[in-house]
Amino acid sequence: MIKENLAAIYERINKAAAQAGRQADEITLIAVSKRQPLAMIAEAIAAGQLDFGENYLQEATEKIKALGHQARFHFIGTLQSNKAKDAATLCAMIHTVDRLKLARELNKHAKAANRTLAILIQVNVGREEQKGGVLPEDAEELIRQMQEFCHLEIQGLMTMPPYRADPEEVRPYFAELRKLGEELQHKGLIAVHCPLQLSMGMSGDFEVAIAEGATLVRVGTAIFGTR
Ligand SMILES: *Cc1c(COP(=O)(O)O)cnc(C)c1O
């Protein structure tokens, strides 16, 4: 079942990329495995899936200890500064950096672990009170303050736009994230040594996100079923 679901998602990614005139290999599928048991992740790995997304650090830690030698785990949930150590040492990439204190802690622990940590800046393009992310107009200042953190590599931006039943209504938020990412890249502030990464799009809207430039799509339900 998971194998078939993955194949269907990759098919849709290929199609969306082709329609957008993009190469499908620019796009990484992150299988969001939060609240799914280890056996489901193992099944996805057996089907060839490499990248997974987790929202809760304790759960992620257990999964990484069991399966981390066979897969990459991205952290996509809200992250407390006091949990930065495990996140910085265990995860392949942190998508949800949105404040200086958290960045400082991640940098400190990445340094202690002698690694460069790939991160994304989460931007609250929908300006929703209950959601994490820096406001678009504050992103540049945050990133400027982060330039001294040499163990963090800011590869791009991530967003969780407002929920809309019609994915077309989410398109402007994806477009805004891309525009902001390109501006910051032009200023030499992010994605200096790599192509700009844009983490956007979930089960309901990843094709629209790909049309707007997503390079990392985070798909849970359409692969693993409801949580
Ligand atoms: C849960 C989650 C997803 C996956 O959502 P689905 O609708 O199940 O595809 C993607 N991104 C984030 C940040 C999430 O928390």
Residue of 2, 30, 32 to mutate, ligand 1, most atoms within 8 A of C-beta: 32
Instruction: Say what the pLDDT of residue 67 is.
Output: 98
Distance from residue 54's CA to the centre of ligand 1 (Å)? 9
What's the pLDDT band for 3 if we cut at 50, 70, 90?
very high
Instruction: Say what the pLDDT of residue 133 is.
Output: 98
Instruction: Say what the pLDDT of residue 100 is.
Output: 98
Minimum CA distance residue for ligand 1 atom 11? 218
Query: How many angstroms separate the CA atoms of 96 and 106, rounded?
Result: 11
Residue of 35, 73, 120, 218 to mutate, ligand 1, most atoms within 8 A of C-beta: 218
* 117 and 110 Cβ atoms separated by less than 8 Å: yes
What's the pLDDT band for 103 if we cut at 50, 70, 90?
very high
Instruction: Say what the pLDDT of residue 225 is.
Output: 94
What's the pLDDT band for 99 if we cut at 50, 70, 90?
very high
Task: Kindly state the DSSP code that residue 201 receives in the 8-state scheme.
Answer: -
Q: Which helix (H) or strand (E) holds 50?
A: none
Query: How many angstroms separate the CA atoms of 57 and 148, rounded?
Result: 26
pTM exceeds cut of 0.75? yes
Query: How many angstroms separate the CA atoms of 131 and 151, rounded?
Result: 27
Distance from residue 167's CA to the centre of ligand 1 (Å)? 14
Instruction: Say what the pLDDT of residue 9 is.
Output: 98
Query: How many angstroms separate the CA atoms of 111 and 109, rounded?
Result: 5
Cα 110 to chain center, whole Å?
A: 18
Average pLDDT over residues 188-203: 97
What's the pLDDT band for 65 if we cut at 50, 70, 90?
very high
Domains, in order of start, for the chain: 2-224 (3.20.20.10)
Half-sphere exposure of 108 (CA within 13 A, CB side): 11
> Which residues lie closer than 8 Å to 25 by C-beta, 6 or more apart?
none
Query: How many angstroms separate the CA atoms of 138 and 171, rounded?
Result: 22
Residues with CB under 6 A from ligand 1: 32, 34, 55, 76, 160, 202-204, 218-222
